[in-house]
Amino acid sequence: MRKFIYLFISIFIFASCNNDSMMTEEEKKLINSGNKNTPMRVLTIDNEADALFLRTPSIDVEAENIKADKDLQLFIQRLKTTMAAEEGVGIAAPQVGIGRNIFLFCRTEEPDMPVQVAINPVIVSTPDSVICFEGDGCLSIPDVSDNSFRSPWVMVAYYDENGIKKEEMLSGYSRRTGFTGVVFQHEYDHLQGVLFIDKLCE
């Protein structure tokens, strides 16, 4: 009988964990500190604590209940609000104090530059060659712009905000015709604790 009780408790705990939010209590508190129209504070490297967090690699979120996770969906909305307020073309979760593998990127080659959500993104492959992208910049490094090494295209995979897995090739490195591939690489680097100033062209 005792074994059955332990088994029942184990199953209950396991089920509770699976139905619980993907986020920690600390992350949920930060996310729920405002509504979907409230911008979040952007971390900057001139703040010592911020700089340390920005250099810390992020971790994945559980991908099974993305659409149903209220905290995650609110976080995505607040990321969009923050990016719009900062007038950026991309923003990563670590930049607002959430160490999770999530970012937004604009499809700069399309009209109105629609915003795409990338959850647990991976770069599957890149070419051997690199280009020097002119005028790279970052919301976490205010008033700094420089040229950075980037791949001319990347094959990527990620989940969108509805939990649908996407696989595609992103290219472009011209501010005139589009640079979606570069934006993806820039934001992906944030998840590894890497900043564009680490990849400056000589």
Residues 47-60: tens digit of each pLDDT: 999 999 999 999 99
Tokens of 113: 């530059």
From the list 84, 101, 97, 106, the residue with the least C-alpha distance to 33 is 97
Residues 158-185: tens digit of each pLDDT: 999 999 999 999 999 998 899 999 999 9
Residues 27-47: tens digit of each pLDDT: 999 999 999 999 999 999 999
Domains defined along the chain, listed by start: 22-199 (3.90.45.10)
CA distance 146 to 151: 16
DSSP strand pairing (141-150 vs 153-159): unpaired
Please report, to the nearest 10 degrees, the dihedral formed by the alpha carbons of residues 16, 102, 109, 194 taken in order.
-160
Catalytic residue status for 187: yes
User: Choosing from 48, 109, 187, 202, which is the catalytic residue?
Assistant: 187
DSSP for 140-165, written as a single string: TEEEEEEEEEE-SEEEEEEE-TTS-E
Report percent pLDDT > 70 for the chain. 89
pTM for the predicted model, two decimal places: 0.88
